[in-house]
Amino acid sequence: MNKPRKQKIEKIQSQLETLRDELQEVLSEEQDYFDSIPENLQAGERYEASEEAVSAIEESAESVESAIGALQDILDR
């Protein structure tokens, strides 16, 4: 791989790492919100929406982490 393409991949990887960190921050905030919902409201729409959001954010963060790893594999070759 030539140097300019390698630099582009490194830049993309850095951007993905920033996005991963931001997703983790949002996940932490949403998880805190979810955990603080009173028991008597846990059958409600907000509870379900928050639970789904936590799950989707976790899945997104895992996908970004996989992309970072794949790019690292390319750079390590």
Domain count within the chain: 1
Full residue range of the structural domain in which residue 9 is found: 3-76
Model confidence over 8-32: pLDDT tens digits? Answer: 999 999 999 999 999 999 999 999 9
CA distance 41 to 72: 44
Q: What is the pLDDT of residues 24-60, one digit of tens each?
A: 999 999 999 999 999 999 999 999 999 999 999 999 9
> Cβ atoms within 10 A of the Cβ of 68, count?
18
pTM for this one?
Answer: 0.88
